[in-house]
A and B are shown apart, each in its own frame.
Chain A
Amino acid sequence: MTPHVLTRSLDRSATIFLVVVAGLGVLIPLSNLLLPAGSALQVPTYLVALFGKYACYAILALSIDLIWGYCGILSLGHGAFFALGGYAMGMYLMRQIGSRGVYGNPILPDFMVFLNYPALPWYWHGFDMFWFAALMVILVPGLLAFCFGWLAFRSRVTGVYLSIITQAMTYALLLAFFRNDFGFGGNNGLTDFKDILGFNVQADGTRAALFALSCLALIVAFLICRAVVTSKLGKVLIAIRDAESRTRFLGYRVESYKLFVFTLSACMAGVAGALYVPQVGIINPSEFAPGNSIEAVIWVAVGGRGTLVGAALGAVVVNYAKTYFTSGPLAPYWLFMLGALFILVTLLLPKGIVGTFNAWRESRKATEKANAESAALEDGVGEPKPAE
């Protein structure tokens, strides 16, 4: 992609977003590492990991906004791509444990020894190399999205039907990954990670670096989404969202556009998952749960779909609320609150936080302009004549 495509039309909210993310990505790790523990400005390590998690969720939210907000594809299974990226990273981290596992097997991860695997399954080969795992983080979700999208979009499955089969997809993966003989640790998933690229995953420095990397990935994902939606392709996506058959009659191959943007979105979700796993220290089949994907869609709705910045903001706001409430006495009611939030946003703020704010600013600008025009008009005619 040329720089021209990347820098095109960064409006004010986009610039603010980039500055804030970049600022946090630098300041939080510095404060954590350089300031003495216990000082008022020092960000404790557990918070660094928590914020890192939010950054990964924000990337997932961006990927959903790209397809839902701009192309009208409501995927209720995007958590599957996130989890697949996470598993690819988890497999790399498992292979890094080596003979430090409980059973001390230099090749086989603990769960394989426990389940009497004679040798490493073929699909685990290569994951001892970081570059290979990193490639799979993007390739596996991308390939699944491509095959799924190719079948679904070519058959013109749209709307609620598409949402339902994406749910089925993530649920099927959930069931598959639960199985012990599927080769991914079954119910327990992958955990007990030791190090990543030779650095201890538990160390403060590694956590700070992972946080900074997550912020960087968020920035890159944002710029990619921004480049896509501000290009002519972005206009075609909106056209498809608003009047799909009209777009076809203009000679656009709608299914190719959907396939492109769906695959791109899945790759981004995969990267988010891969950054998430070393920071939370575990990946298990519950990440495929349909509820997770629906929650991610709620983040986007709350923040404002079709705004990108709103999606990222929604992810952080809703997850902060989740962290806050689920650690207090209100914990059992969190799901009710999430449901209520979704209903309230749909009824009262259908454009979400950022969408409503933008609409408010637009209308204020329009009023100001109208006022200025009428003032200029009055100046032109001179003093109004006094009433008789």
Chain B
Amino acid sequence: MSVMEGRTTSALLYLDGVHVSFDGFHAINNLSLTLEPGEMRAIIGPNGAGKTTMMDIITGKTKPDEGTVLFDGMTDLTRLDETHIAELGIGRKFQKPTVFESQTIEDNLLLALNVDHSVRGTLFWRGSRDESERIDRVLETIRLTDARNRLAGSLSHGQKQWLEIGMLLAQDPKLLLVDEPVAGMTDVETHQTAELLKEINKEKTVMVVEHDMTFVRELGVKVTCLHEGTVLAEGTIDQVSSNERVVEVYLGR
């Protein structure tokens, strides 16, 4: 593990001067962003602004060409792979809900629990009361207790989104990266999701990427607008949505 000497920043997540290009296309261009511990941040921006690529960089899926990515002020994420970063305590929900469709909801959560993930540990695994209690709690939070023995593939789109958030909770990370959690949800579900994320934010640091401005407004947190791989504006939702450039490239007049 690449631990630097001493903390250099108080931020939980610190990105500075990050560049990534794919075949000459600059997906991320001098991106700098910090997330303080306990903060919730909403990320908005047009398609192709680099939102998902930024999450790929933080979770180790994509390596940046240049720049610094620090977690907890000490750990250089650019040198670690996905597994290692997940173990450090960064959980991710994908844009397209990705759950293990051929397994039950309970098994999905069981797989997500942050217990021994080694080959030997899982081969000789025997359930414990603590683990099943944690699964019960998560099932209650995501309101899927009655569906626990159903296959995840049989869930509705909105329920899959919730199950994936539930998997994040079971993973118990320090930082949650949530990519478009309310895509395809009804208004009621969107509202419930906002409440759920606010509840989660009481204990954890959260970064949410979302297009739904009503939802972002409901979260009531600091907003960062990305455009062409760099930060265009940052501030409260009112500040950002009244910003000339943001209106021009993203919100439209």
Question: A: which residues have CB within 8 A of B?
Answer: 2, 4-5, 228, 231-233, 235-236, 238-239, 242-243, 245-254, 256-257, 260
Contacts and interface: CB of A to CB of B under 8 A. Distances in A.
A248 B83 contact: yes
Interface string B105-136: 00100111010011100111110000000000
B187 interface: no
A2 B124 CA distance: 9
Interface of B: 59, 61, 81-83, 86-87, 91-92, 94, 98-103, 107, 110-112, 114, 117-119, 122-126, 167, 171
B125 A231 contact: yes
Given A233-B119, A235-B111, A260-B119, A248 B86 contact: yes
Contacts of B101: 242
23 contacts: A4-B126, A5-B123, A5-B124, A228-B123, A232-B122, A232-B125, A235-B107, A235-B110, A238-B102, A238-B103, A242-B100, A243-B98, A245-B61, A246-B98, A246-B99, A248-B82, A250-B86, A250-B112, A251-B86, A251-B114, A253-B118, A254-B83, A256-B118
Chain A binding surface SS class: helix
A160 to B, nearest CB: 22
Contacts of A249: 59, 82, 86, 91-92
Nearest to B112: A250
Contact of B94 (A235, A246, A260): A246
Nearest to A261: B119
Contact of A252 (B83, B102, B125): B83
Given A236-B122, A249-B86, A252-B83, 12 more contacts: A4-B126, A228-B123, A231-B123, A231-B125, A232-B111, A239-B111, A242-B103, A246-B99, A247-B111, A249-B92, A256-B118, A257-B119
A143 B200 CA distance: 47
A256 B102 contact: no
Contact of A238 (B82, B91, B100, B171): B100
A250 B102 contact: no
B98 A251 contact: no
Instruction: Please name the 8 residue pairs, one residue from A and one from B, whose CB atoms are nearest each other, closest first.
Output: A251-B86, A232-B125, A248-B82, A233-B122, A232-B122, A233-B123, A251-B87, A246-B98
Nearest to B173: A251
Given A238-B103, A243-B98, A250 B167 contact: yes
A260 B61 CA distance: 24
Contact of B83 (A232, A235, A251): A251
A220 B114 CA distance: 33
Nearest to A243: B98
Given A238-B100, A242-B102, A245-B82, A250 B111 contact: yes
Contacts of B171: 250-251
